[in-house]
Amino acid sequence: MISMVMVAVGVYARLLKHAEAAMACLAVDPAILLIVVGILTFLITFCGCIGSLRENICLLQAFSICLTIVFLLQLAAGVLGFVFSDKARGKVSEIINGAIVHYRDDLDLQNLIDFGQKEFSCCGGVSYKDWSQNMYFNCTVTNPSRERCSVPFSCCLQDTNEVVINTMCGQGMQTMSYLEASAFIYTNGCIDKLVNWIHSNLFLLGGIALGLAVPQLVGILLAQILINQIRDQIKLQLYNQQHRADPWY
């Protein structure tokens, strides 16, 4: 049921977007990610649920194999991310830069970036001047946009006493030096902030990973136990049928 809700929400969010925006940033669209995860979750849980109810060995085997693959992929991603941290950092930087380019193309992506910059008190990928990669915030002289050389409002230093959010607070910040801009906005990039957050929350992330891994391992174990029980029942039934057909039985 949860996976069906995820798919429904993802489809609804996708249908609300314009066609050109939908084609522009498929790689960074949270709605697409929600749909894919929801569909995969539904297929896996469907095999496990129907397979256990109908005592179908094929469905149970598919459920067990899928959970094993997911678990191994998660384990491999964690190990590779730790071993090849520099390459992982480069990939994260590539994703963030791609998201900056398509900031105005996708409302969901825009909200996600604004949320991340507010939560991590950061701006851009490496620095606030990364926003020049966006066509609206580009700092070239030929850019006719009113947001030329600006940064999103989520980069601005938060004022708890501010009742109405000033969405133009980042106007012209890219023309300032780091020291000048730091009085108005967050000048540090989100990549370093994210890496520092991960390093300071390793135990929390490890607990989350363990919390995801334990149910998967339990599901694999229970599926294999049920498969063995079904096979034992089939062998017992065949044994009984053979002996009942025996005239000396």
Q: Residue 218 maps to which CATH number? A: 1.10.1450.10
CA distance 53 to 63: 13
Within a domain: 2:
no
DSSP 8-class letter at 140: S
Average pLDDT over residues 162-183: 88
Within a domain: 216:
yes
What is the number of domains present in the chain?
1
CA distance 67 to 30: 23
Q: What is the pTM of this model?
A: 0.68
Nearest one of 237, 18, 195, 216 to 92, comparing CA atoms: 195
Residue 18 has pLDDT above 90, yes or no: no
Please give the pLDDT value at position 26: 47
Choice among 9-13, 26-30, 174-178 with the minimum mean pLDDT: 26-30
Model pLDDT for residues 137-155, shown as the tens digit of each residue: 999 889 999 999 999 999 9
Within a domain: 219:
yes
Nearest one of 1, 30, 38 to 13, comparing CA atoms: 30
Q: What percent of the chain has pLDDT over 90?
A: 41
Nearest one of 197, 184, 194, 14 to 108, comparing CA atoms: 14
CA distance to 58, 67, 95, 243, per residue, from 230 (Å) = 11, 20, 47, 20
Model pLDDT for residues 24-69, shown as the tens digit of each residue: 454 556 677 888 888 999 999 999 999 999 889 999 999 999 999 9
Within a domain: 19:
no
Question: Which helix (DSSP H) or strand (DSSP E) does residue 85 occupy?
Answer: helix 85-101
Within a domain: 35:
no
Q: Which domain holds residue 73?
A: 55-240
CA distance 80 to 98: 22
Please give the pLDDT value at position 229: 92
Residue 243 has pLDDT above 80, yes or no: no
Within a domain: 16:
no
Within a domain: 40:
no
Mean pLDDT of the chain: 85
Within a domain: 174:
yes
DSSP bridge partners of 188: 127
222 neighbors 63 (Cβ within 8 angstroms): no
147 neighbors 140 (Cβ within 8 angstroms): no
Handedness of CA 50, 51, 56, 59 (dihedral sign): positive
Nearest one of 66, 70, 69, 51 to 225, comparing CA atoms: 51
CA distance to 10, 27, 47, 166, 224, per residue, from 5 (Å) = 9, 22, 18, 35, 29
